[in-house]
């Protein structure tokens, strides 16, 4: 952090990674709670010499700077106040003749958490919003479970006998997939011997016992529920848009999976096939679609990520998948040990359940190590949609991934780019579109740019730097940018003009209101011109010569529905096999007007 960045942060508020203390003549006692919270969560800046006055941050200065800095760093390096020695970065500034310190407290590694005070693990803190909160007993147990050297899924369940707890059909299914995937390995036909070979069964004292991963992956329902007294997964299909749904509303399809993990995966695929936009076949070896289109790749990788990385030691919270009409939300108990930026790197990551992860990879159900999240982002980008949203909450130890079915580049964006007077590469154009889609004032980060399928941070920086040189973005910090206000206003005017052009007013159709609709494509005009009755989607696709149903919906049909030119015959069941489409009154008016 440099002085300009510090001053910029002081114009905002304290939040997850930024805390200010007066520290005029000494280190305040509660500063160490903030150190614990930052170290246990995602790191952050602790600033001395700044006070909150009338809800604003003001520089008040440290009167004995050398003493305060030395005392603070000595405690952090002493290993007595805190149970870990912390390597804190110290920065010293002089603002209006007043001394200010900014200390960066890094996040500690999995095995070094929790960081606590006075030798008491109960005095562990996490950062939530602008506050330091003492860990609850459940939260402390999550930290200790993740920090254990012997991983939770590898523990031997000595109270169970291997001969009685496995579902043999699941084991045989896995053996068949393994043999097809790994023909170089000698075949082991006996189920227990096979599991023993791969450490899902362990011999102790002359007896065979399962590991926790073995039961979770292959166990019968009774034994799965014995060691996991909550569901593996709560699947819900909710036939409405996310913003129009409330928790009080009933789902339209729900299944609570309490079987082993592989049975859960098979059941989840079966349910996905029911709602797929068109039928498809699966490779029997990997349960992958034979054509592997992007929409299934993203769903598959996100669902597998949920099954293999959740905290199975957390018995109070269950994983869930909620499918809305405009997005799919995957939620997991258990955070990722990596940062969001690291999740986009093609390197192997430290995982919570190594035995479960390896079991999936041995039969090709998970891509090579470290690439699952990248595959999700890459394939969602291939569909032309806004990047998936990640929320890796290290305080609550939970992970959420959201696939939003929304185009990244809208018609308004395409028209706006034509007015810029500058040539942009596809990567630069996508980055600008993403920046314009963020809430006003929301920063565009280098990690967000990488989510557009851009491989490295250096490449993302080159994209951002070009947009800055073209005076489309302003740089806020080393890693953050935002759209110039003049550019944002111009885009808002263009979007408003197009909305007016497409929908007109509600007083009734006129040539200005419906006209030839220059915002519509030739394919959309073809659909409107030929739609005289109720038609299925296959017929509409045939009219315009398209074979990819997902792309047809995204580019042609969905915009017509959004503009209220076309409507569904069964609007409360958008994925129904009996679904048909017809013109609305406004669509008929436009069709008739164009035909004149």
Condensed to tens digits (0 to 9), the pLDDT of residues 507-563 reads 333 323 333 444 577 788 889 888 989 999 889 988 888 877 877 887 888 888 877
Other CB atoms within 10 Å distance of the CB of residue 580? 16
Q: Do 552 and 533 fall into the same domain?
A: yes
As a whole number of angstroms, the distance between CA 241 and CA 40 comes to 36
Structural domain includes residue 401: no
Structural domain includes residue 230: no
Q: Do 532 and 490 fall into the same domain?
A: no
Q: Do 567 and 586 fall into the same domain?
A: yes
Candidates 514, 516, 521, 486; CA nearest to 500 is 514
pLDDT at 455: 84
Structural domain includes residue 12: yes
Place of tokens 């996991």: 228
Q: Which of 117, 136, 155 is the last residue of a domain?
A: 136
pLDDT at 306: 96
Q: Which of 475, 494, 513 is the last residue of a domain?
A: 494
Q: Which of 494, 519, 538 is the last residue of a domain?
A: 494
Q: Do 490 and 449 fall into the same domain?
A: yes
Report yes or no: 511 and 593 within 8 Å, Cβ to Cβ: yes
pLDDT at 512: 34
H/E element holding 52?
Answer: strand 50-53
Q: How many domains does the chain have?
A: 3
Q: Write a three-state SS string for 454-502.
A: CCCHHHHHHHHHHHHHCCCEEECCCCEEEECHHHHHHHHHHHHHHHHHH
Q: Do 515 and 458 fall into the same domain?
A: no
Structural domain includes residue 77: yes
Structural domain includes residue 271: no
Tokens of 395: 């305080």
Report yes or no: 49 and 7 within 8 Å, Cβ to Cβ: no
Structural domain includes residue 266: no
- Calculate the alpha carbon distances from 182 to 174, 236, 475 in Å: 12, 35, 51
The parts of the chain modelled with pLDDT lower than 50 are: 279, 505-518
pLDDT at 552: 84
Q: Do 487 and 587 fall into the same domain?
A: no
Report yes or no: 549 and 277 within 8 Å, Cβ to Cβ: yes
pLDDT at 291: 54
Residue 580: CB partners within 8 Å, gap ≥ 6?
534, 535, 536, 568, 569, 570
Q: Do 100 and 11 fall into the same domain?
A: yes
SS3 assignment, position 379: helix
Q: Do 490 and 529 fall into the same domain?
A: no
Q: Do 477 and 510 fall into the same domain?
A: no
pTM (2 d.p.): 0.78
pLDDT at 396: 93
Candidates 94, 438, 226; CA nearest to 448 is 438
Here the CATH number for the domain that contains residue 509 is 1.10.10.10
Which DSSP string do the residues of 166-229 spell out, in sequence order?
Answer: B-HHHHHHHHHHHHHH-TTSPP--SHHHHHHHTTSEEEETTEEEEBHHHHHHHB-HHHHHHH--
As a whole number of angstroms, the distance between CA 221 and CA 122 comes to 36
As a whole number of angstroms, the distance between CA 528 and CA 78 comes to 75
pLDDT at 282: 55
Other CB atoms within 10 Å distance of the CB of residue 281? 9
By residue range, what is the domain housing residue 591?
Answer: 505-595
Dihedral angle of Cα 455, 460, 466, 471, to the nearest 10 degrees: 140
pLDDT at 572: 75
Structural domain includes residue 166: no
Structural domain includes residue 71: yes
pLDDT at 413: 85
pLDDT at 358: 94
Q: Do 522 and 456 fall into the same domain?
A: no
Here the CATH number for the domain that contains residue 86 is 3.30.950.30
Report yes or no: 449 and 459 within 8 Å, Cβ to Cβ: no
Each residue's pLDDT tens digit, 123-151:
999 999 889 999 999 999 999 999 988 89
Q: Do 458 and 484 fall into the same domain?
A: yes
Q: Do 428 and 480 fall into the same domain?
A: yes
Residue 524: CB partners within 8 Å, gap ≥ 6?
517, 556, 559, 560
pLDDT at 588: 87
């Amino acid at each position: 952090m440099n002085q300009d960045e510090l001053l910029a942060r002081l114009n905002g508020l304290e939040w997850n990674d930024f805390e200010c203390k007066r520290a005029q003549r000494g280190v305040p006692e509660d500063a160490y709670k903030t150190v614990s919270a930052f170290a246990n969560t995602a790191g952050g800046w602790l600033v001395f010499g700044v006070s909150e006055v009338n809800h604003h941050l003001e520089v008040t200065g440290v009167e004995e700077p050398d003493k305060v800095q030395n005392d603070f760093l000595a405690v952090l390096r002493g290993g007595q106040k805190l149970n870990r020695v912390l390597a804190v970065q110290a920065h010293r500034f002089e603002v209006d003749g007043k001394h200010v310190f900014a200390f960066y407290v890094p996040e500690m590694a999995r095995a070094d958490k929790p960081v606590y005070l006075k030798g008491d693990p109960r005095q562990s803190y996490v950062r939530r919003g602008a506050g330091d909160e003492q860990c609850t007993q459940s939260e402390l147990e999550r930290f200790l479970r993740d920090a254990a050297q012997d991983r939770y899924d590898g523990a031997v369940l000595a109270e169970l006998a291997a001969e009685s707890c496995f579902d043999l059909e699941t084991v045989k299914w896995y053996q068949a997939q393994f043999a097809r995937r790994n023909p170089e390995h000698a075949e082991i036909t006996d189920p227990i011997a096979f599991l023993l070979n791969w450490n899902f069964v362990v011999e102790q004292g002359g007896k065979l016992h399962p590991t926790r991963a073995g039961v979770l992956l292959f166990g019968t329902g009774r034994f799965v529920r014995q060691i996991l007294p909550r569901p593996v997964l709560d699947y819900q299909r909710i036939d409405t848009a996310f913003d129009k749904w409330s928790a009080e509303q009933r789902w339209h399809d729900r299944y609570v999976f309490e079987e082993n993990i592989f049975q859960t995966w098979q059941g989840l695929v079966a349910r996905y096939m029911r709602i797929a936009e068109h039928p498809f076949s699966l490779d029997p070896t990997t349960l992958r679609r034979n054509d592997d289109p992007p929409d299934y790749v993203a769903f598959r990788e996100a669902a597998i990520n949920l099954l293999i990385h959740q905290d199975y030691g957390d018995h109070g919270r269950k994983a869930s998948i909620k499918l809305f009409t405009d997005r799919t939300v995957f939620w997991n108990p258990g955070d990722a040990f990596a940062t969001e930026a690291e999740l986009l790197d093609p390197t192997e990551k430290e995982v919570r359940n190594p035995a479960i992860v390896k079991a999936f990879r041995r039969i090709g159900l998970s891509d090579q190590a470290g690439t699952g999240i990248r595959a999700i982002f890459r394939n969602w980008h291939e569909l032309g949609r806004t990047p998936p949203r990640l929320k890796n909450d290290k305080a609550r130890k939970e992970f959420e991934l959201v696939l939003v079915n929304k185009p990244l580049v809208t018609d308004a964006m395409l028209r706006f780019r034509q007015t810029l007077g500058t040539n942009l590469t596809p990567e630069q154009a996508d980055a600008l579109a993403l920046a314009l889609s963020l809430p006003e004032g929301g920063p565009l980060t280098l990690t967000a740019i990488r989510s557009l399928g851009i491989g490295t941070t250096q490449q993302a920086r080159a994209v951002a730097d070009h947009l800055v040189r073209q005076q489309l973005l302003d740089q806020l910090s080393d890693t953050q940018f935002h759209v110039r206000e003049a550019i944002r206003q111009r885009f808002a005017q263009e979007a408003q003009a197009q909305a007016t052009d497409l929908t007109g007013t509600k007083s009734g159709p006129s040539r200005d209101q419906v006209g030839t609709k220059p915002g519509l494509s030739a394919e959309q005009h073809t659909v409107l011109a030929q739609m005289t009755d109720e038609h299925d989607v296959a017929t509409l696709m045939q009219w315009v010569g398209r074979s990819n149903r997902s792309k047809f919906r995204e580019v042609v049909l969905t915009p017509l529905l959004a503009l209220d030119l076309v409507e569904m015959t069964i609007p409360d069941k958008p994925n129904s096999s009996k679904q048909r489409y017809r013109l609305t009154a406004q669509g008929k008016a436009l069709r008739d007007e164009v035909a004149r």
